[in-house]
Amino acid sequence: MTDFTELPDLASRALAGSVVAANDEFFAARENLIQPGPPAVVPTFGHKGKEYDGWETRRRREPGVDWAIVRLGVPGVIHGVVVDTAHFLGNYPPFVSVEAASVDGYPSAAELADLHWEPIVARSPAAGGSVNSYPVTDPRDWTHVRLTLHPDGGVARFRVHGTPAPDPRFLTGTIDLAALENGGGLVSCSDAFYGSAEKMILPGRAHDMGEGWENARRRDGGNDWAVLRLAGAGVVRHVELDTSYFLGNAPGWVQLSGCADLDAGEWFDLVPKQRSQPDTRHRYLVAEDRPVTHVRLDVYPDGGIARLRVWGELTS
């Protein structure tokens, strides 16, 4: 069985997630929960005490719990959550629980409080300074999750790993068939030493080299590749291969292939192998009109790609 942490983090700020409400954030802001990077050590003290890269509530002096509500960047089926208490040692929550809800539109924090919330992680022990992982077996789609601390404390990061289930009403016309937010995903890749190939299909443009896919230097005469699942079967119209911020480590050549049946492995060119340039957004028209369900990006012999866009129309 695949480790659920290998699935996309549906709550991540990189995927347009948001912490829409919290009952308390006295020591550290709730927004830190969904930052895409790992939690950092903050060596400073402020007026309220030790500062943390995470969410921290005050010490409770009365019965109750603390909570934060996260709107997922993309609705989806949740396969597991991670409550990371890195650097919270004497001030972590001893127990946590997670609930989920599904709602259309963009409700306010007050409206969210009145929703019916379904438990997906029962009240469970949590350890300090640890990556606490909790699998989820509920097969339903969700749009929001609520993390509850019993009774209070600090959490560095909250990850909600799952399978995107975007609203099909927004998948009409020409769309980015490979985009994670549209239901695309990473199937496999040859190497992701410096950065996951999944980063190529995140929303927006990369802001630095760390926001793209970068493999290790090849010494064996082969080449690196990544296979991506599209949002559905579709006809590709044009492709963007963006090497922005990759200057001394961009691929020398690139190639994009497609197939309609991954098991059969019958690949054909969408973008034939050709020279690429560092720090450049390359755009290619695609003449092939056969529908594809998967694409394979080959980089020769290795090198970094900031973003991959596969523009086209769904056929099913």
**What gap in Å lies between CA 239 and CA 245, rounded to an integer?**
19
Residue 7's Cα: distance from chain center in Å? 8
Share of the chain above pLDDT 90, in %: 91
- Exposure string for 284-310, b = 16+ CB within 10 A, e = fewer: bebeeeebbbbbbbbbbbbbbbbbbbb
pLDDT in tens, 285-296: 999 999 999 999
**What gap in Å lies between CA 255 and CA 224, rounded to an integer?**
11
**Domains defined for the chain, CATH in brackets:** 4-164 (2.60.120.260), 169-314 (2.60.120.260)
pTM for the model stands at 0.91
Taking residues 300-316, report their average pLDDT. 96
pLDDT in tens, 33-82: 999 999 998 888 888 878 889 999 999 999 999 999 999 999 999 999 99
pLDDT at 47: 81
pLDDT in tens, 5-15: 999 999 999 99
Q: Please report which helix (H) or strand (E) contains residue 112, including its range.
A: helix 109-113
